[in-house]
Structure formats: structure tokens, C-alpha cells
Amino acid sequence: MVNPKGPVVTRFAPSPNGQLHLGHAFSALCAHEFARAFGGQFHLRIEDIDGTRSRPEHIQAILADMQWLGLAHDGKVQFQSQHTARYVAARDRLVSAGFLYRCGCTRGDISEALKHKPVPHGPDGPHYPGTCRELPFAGDGPYSWRLDTKKAADLVGPLMWTDLAAGQQFADPMAFGDVVLWRKDAPASYHLAATVDDATDGITHVVRGKDLFAYTAIHRLLQNLLDLPEPVYWHHPLLLDSTDEKLAKSKSSPALSARRLAGESSAELMDNLRHRMLPLGISLSDA
């Protein structure tokens, strides 16, 4: 692990669409310890713009879990729902520049189109077949905004990014096709909101799990299109369950709140997680 240069600002940014589990605790710890090891700041951001899936009780549980874990954050808790204006401004800038197009396709429409049109496959599965890019959407129904990835990538040119564990990386946004940046049923997608927030909040080091490694290519493209600073990344290993699958809300991995309410020792839990961090090259002794 290379020591960072200059001030360090990290963040932990959970979505309140379910209970936090041990994998979240590990990710929060990595971001917290990295910032503290180098005399920096650690921020907490609640990514609560996921429609009706974002629940107030989950927000309260997140705050209680963080306090129980002893992971103190700097400054006020940030809520994405309070900053939609910044996402609208970013969207409108991309629309004005001709990088976004309306898409009225439903999942059924896309599934049917894929039966008749072979498309590349990427980390998220088959690419969007380009229906509304080739025949502009002119309906009255709901629509999303998609990124014309090839047009944007051709303008920006080759992109690189730095991961503190994996080194220099080539960014290939074309691996995802035309991603949705503004959803029909909610404000900005994760890609747009997280990229804009990281820049606005002065995040210098994005510490997150390896499951988000590939998405960095899209984020680097957006940073260039919106003239945003490029952070350094550290994608840490994921915690796995007994079947070697990553812990996930969708699989009902044991919740931190259940451990907390059962009276489990947070000190012992955190000591175990810090022990898992040792092979990664990050500890307070680096300071």
C-alpha cells in the first residue's frame, strides 16, 4: 500500500434499503481506518434516493450500528435526498452537451429486443440494445436518461485510474454499454449521484468493495464529462459467507442490528475485522 499524498477524505455510503451486515461493517472500517491512519476525515453519506426501498427505520438502524461499532464520522451526516438539485444540474449539463438520450423502454421491451439483436455482454449482463438511441423516444410515458457511452468515450479518449491495491488501471466504460444515469422511478442512478457527491464532498480516496471495481470506468468517464476531480481508489476484498459468496442484503445475511440488540460485544467484532485488515496493508501504525 502506497502512502497517500496530501489530505485524506474518505466516506462510507450505505443505502437504507435493508439492514447493514458484517460486510458493511468491514467496508466502513476500511474507510474509517484509512482516513484516521493518515490524519484525514471520514464522512458518512446515506444514499437514500432509491424510491420506496429507502426506509426511515433503516436509516435509524445505520446510525445506531455506526455508533455501536465506534466508527465516528466527521461533520454532519449527508443525505442524498437533500441534494437532488446537484444531480439535476449534472444531468442537465450532460443533456445539453448531447451525451444523454431519453429511453422509454421497459424491461419487457429490452428483453424482446435482445431476442432479435445480438449485443455485447459486460459485467452487468447484456448491453442495452440501443433502441431509443437509434429511434428517439417520442412518447408521453415515463422515460429514463441513458448515457451515449460511445459518443462520450470517443470525445474523452483513453482513461486511466489508480487503485491502491491493484495499481494503474485502464478504464473501459464501453464494457457497460449505455447505462441509465437518471431513472424513471427515482432521481439519479448510483453512477451519477455517487460521482457528483464524491466530488462535491471533497472525497480524495474512494474506499469500497471489489464488487464495485469495474464501475470505476463509468465514474471516470463522468468525472471527465463534468470536469470533476479524480479521486484515488481502494477496492478492498469482500467478506464471504460459508459458501464463499459475498455477504448481501438480498441474501438476508445476518444483520448488525441483530448482533447489537442481542448484546454482542462490538469491541470483539471490530478487533476481528481489524485483524482481517492486517494483510491489506492498512492500520493505524502507518500514520
The CATH number given to whatever domain includes residue 101 is 3.40.50.620
Number of structural domains (the chain) is 1
Q: What is the pLDDT along the chain (287 residues), one digit of tens a residue?
A: 556 677 999 999 999 999 999 999 999 999 999 999 999 999 999 999 987 778 899 999 999 999 999 999 999 999 999 999 999 999 999 999 999 999 999 999 999 999 999 999 999 999 999 999 998 888 788 999 999 999 999 999 999 999 999 999 999 999 999 999 999 987 899 999 999 999 999 999 999 999 999 999 999 999 999 999 999 999 999 987 766 666 666 566 789 999 999 999 999 999 999 988 877 765 444 43
Rounded to an integer, what distance in angstroms lies between the CA atom of residue 83 and that of residue 79?
7
pLDDT of residue 204: 97
* Domain of 195, in residue numbers: 9-286
In a domain? residue 209:
yes
In a domain? residue 34:
yes
In a domain? residue 1:
no
In a domain? residue 2:
no
**Strands, E, within 136-197: which ranges?**
144-147, 159-163, 167-171, 180-182
Query: Which set of grid coordinates corresponds to residue 44?
Result: 458518512
- pTM across the whole model: 0.92
In a domain? residue 182:
yes
pLDDT of residue 113: 95
Do residues 59 and 27 touch, judged by C-beta distance below 8 A? Answer: no
pLDDT of residue 1: 52
Do residues 203 and 231 touch, judged by C-beta distance below 8 A? Answer: yes
In a domain? residue 3:
no
Rounded to an integer, what distance in angstroms lies between the CA atom of residue 287 and that of residue 280?
15
Percentage helix, strand, coil for the chain under 3-state DSSP, each rounded to 5: 45, 20, 40
Residue with cell 442524498: 80
Coil, helix or strand at residue 208 = strand
